[in-house]
A and B are shown apart, each in its own frame.
Chain A
Amino acid sequence: MSTMTLKPASLPANVNDGAEEIAPVTRVRSYWQSVGYRLRHDYITLFFGLMVVLIVLAAVFAPLLAPFDPYAQSVLGRIKPPGWRGHPLGTDELGRDLLTRLIYGGRISLMMGLVPVLIAAVVGGTLGVIGGFAGKVANSAIMRTMDVFYAFPSILLAVAISGAMGGGITNGILSLSLVFIPAMCRVAETVTSQVRGLDYIEAARASGAGTLTIIRHHVLSNVLGPVFIYASSLVSVSILLASGLSFLGLGVQPPEPDWGLMLSTLRQSLYVAPLNCAMPGIAIFITSICFNLVSDGVRAAMDVRH
């Protein structure tokens, strides 16, 4: 880049004399370098990113961190306040250690937050690229079908599908994936249809590139960014919806430790131990707000088109 700052040799030395000195040499950053630069200087995102990492680590190393067995019940130790006989946060309605179950519950909550979004990003993204690139009949067929699913409020669709299929983690993941696919599809379709009309796609085709090559090289590189940004914002939505499903008795089934399910069973002891009862909700809230803020930060860092 340094050659740019040299004055053309043919110019007389006194042209622009003094008025315009040699421009300072600025290193031009690549797209990812500038994204990284902005993220490194966004301390709020860094902090909440660290929180997300800690939550993930706690979930992964749950057996090492948790002070008790998540399934060990005790008839005499039911609904005890924080600090009772070495239970840091007290116990639940079956005498199981609350902190242990909160740590283990993170495993399922994180899985329910990430897996449906991942499935939806792959399936919805693929459908959107196909629709956007094929155009015409295929596009309307795909997008009008998606419009139908758009007509449901997300929690309602999730409840409808897993309510019909019955509880269980697999059905929960399936129904949440279905909830997110239309939105993902729409994001991918919009970008693909925009890119499809651009000149360099025409140029690529003229120079003999096949459809798959064009999609792989030119379309995907444009679609992946927006899809990733959107997907990252869905993780916390997915965690909230999944915990809601478990709260209703769908999704995760007892005795599995899950935050939504814990809220639902501890609700029976609302008058006895309100503090214990509120705790799983705090875990959901903190996890979800961390993912939300990280996703906001990533979006701000990646969105260069002002």
Chain B
Amino acid sequence: MGWYILRRIVFAIPIALGVSVVCFSLVYLAPGDPLQTLLPPDATAETIAIVKHAYGFDQPIPVQYVIWLWHVLHGDFGRSIATQRPVTSEVFGALSNTSVLALFAVPLSFVMGYVLGAIAGCFPGGVIDRLVTGSAVVGVSLPNYWLGLVLVIVFAVNLSILPASSMGPSGSDNFSLISPDDLRYLVLPVLTLAMIPIGLLARTTRAAVTEVRSQDFVTTLRAMGLGEVAIIRHVLKNASPQVLTVMGLQFGYLMGGSILVETVFTWPGSGFLLSKAIINRDIPVLQGTILALSLVFVFTNLVVDLLQAVMDPRIRRA
């Protein structure tokens, strides 16, 4: 087990480095001189020289990457063009706001998806089964930001019972998870984010449960006289590794894919920061946010792999 964990962690390092290379090259994808993207348009020749030296643009590109990585590892992502604040503090502030959304959306979607999927799998052909099968197709075809707009239209415009956007009456600085007034601002974005993963997870759980239920050991258990409830417990336990994989992916998508939903609700999280960075052509912020979010994704995948090894001894030996 110890070896397996070590091997998975060692495998994750080149992936993380590769991700950093992709983020680093974003500056070179931008049209024009990379210096232009790092500097305000009215920079003097003197500032240009200073920045050129500071970022090592007079060096060959691989050396530049190492310098950049060195800065990043020390928590220095450069400065935002739009606000002149350090990118690190902007990204971390935004990430914590995104985590607030994830804190509610993840348990909601995982529990709902798992329970619905399990019921559908145990009672194939029933009402819940049809609902799950149907909603999964709808879920993958629905643009989540449009779903957000529709929810705003229904609950904020027509019924005016919930706020349409932003993060509380006093903004993100004083946002508190215990104040019911602030929590009302969470309802619509969390619902929007959770809806689509619920459908996908329910479908995965249903498929996994159906597959496990058709295996021979279930017949054996039944022949041994086990009650239906005990059998379902065995089935769910065996179906869980498959479900966990999809949960890991969906967690990453809830963090990274929140970009559109946060834009709709002007929720000041990482996705909103990204869309602001796009409008301002603020490449350092774009780079920093993408790197942070994708590292979260890499880390989640690692954790899921390890959890699976804990749950399923067969994986450890492979």
Q: Which residues does A use to contact B, with CB under 8 Å?
A: 144-145, 147-149, 151-153, 155-156, 159-161, 163-166, 236-237, 240, 243-244, 247-250, 260, 263, 267, 270-271, 274, 277-278, 280-281, 284-285, 288-289, 292-293, 296
Contacts and interface: CB of A to CB of B under 8 A. Distances in A.
Interface stretch (B1-9, B121-129, B271-279): B271-279
Nearest to B136: A292
A284 B143 contact: yes
Contact of A248 (B152, B158, B259): B259
A260 B173 CA distance: 32
Interface string B275-288: 10111010100100
A152 B257 CA distance: 10
Given A153-B252, A153-B297, A263-B146, A159 B29 contact: no
B149 A270 contact: yes
A166 B31 contact: yes
Nearest to A149: B22
Contacts of B294: 151-153, 156
A270 B16 CA distance: 41
B19 interface: yes
A289 B137 contact: yes
B297 A240 contact: no
A244 B278 contact: no
Interface string B21-46: 11100110111000000000000000
B168 to A, nearest CB: 20
Interface string B295-308: 00110010000000
Contacts of B164: 270
Contact of A166 (B21, B27, B30): B30
16 contacts: A152-B22, A153-B257, A153-B294, A155-B260, A156-B259, A156-B290, A156-B293, A160-B23, A164-B27, A237-B140, A244-B143, A248-B259, A248-B260, A250-B278, A263-B149, A274-B158
Contacts of B214: none
A274 B277 CA distance: 28
A159 B283 contact: no
B298 to A, nearest CB: 5
Contact of A277 (B26, B153, B286): B153
Contacts of B103: none
A13 B260 CA distance: 77
A292 B141 contact: yes
B278 A249 contact: yes
Given A240-B143, A278-B153, A292-B137, A155 B256 contact: yes
A161 B29 contact: yes
A285 to B, nearest CB: 6
Contacts of B274: 159, 163
Given A152-B19, A156-B293, A248-B263, A278 B286 contact: no
B226 interface: no
Interface in B180-200: none
Interface string B162-181: 00100000000000000000
List 7 A-B pairs, minimum CB-CB distance, nearest first: A148-B18, A281-B146, A153-B256, A289-B141, A288-B141, A274-B153, A164-B29
B111 interface: no
Contacts of A164: 26-27, 29-30, 283, 286
Given A149-B22, A236-B140, A155 B149 contact: no
Interface of B: 14-16, 18-19, 21-23, 26-27, 29-31, 137-138, 140-143, 145-146, 149-150, 152-153, 157-158, 164, 252-253, 255-257, 259-260, 263-264, 274-275, 277-279, 281, 283, 286, 290, 293-294, 297-298, 301
Given A160-B23, A161-B29, A277-B149, A236 B141 contact: yes
Contacts of A236: 140-141
A183 to B, nearest CB: 13
B257 A163 contact: no
B278 A163 contact: yes
Given A164-B27, A165-B31, A274-B158, A248 B275 contact: yes
A81 B297 CA distance: 44
Contacts of A280: 146
Given A164-B283, A165-B31, A285-B141, A155 B26 contact: no
Contacts of A156: 256-257, 259, 290, 293-294, 297
A243 B26 contact: no
A293 B141 CA distance: 10
B253 A153 contact: yes
Contacts of A267: 149, 264
Nearest to A286: B141
B18 A243 contact: no
A147 B301 CA distance: 12
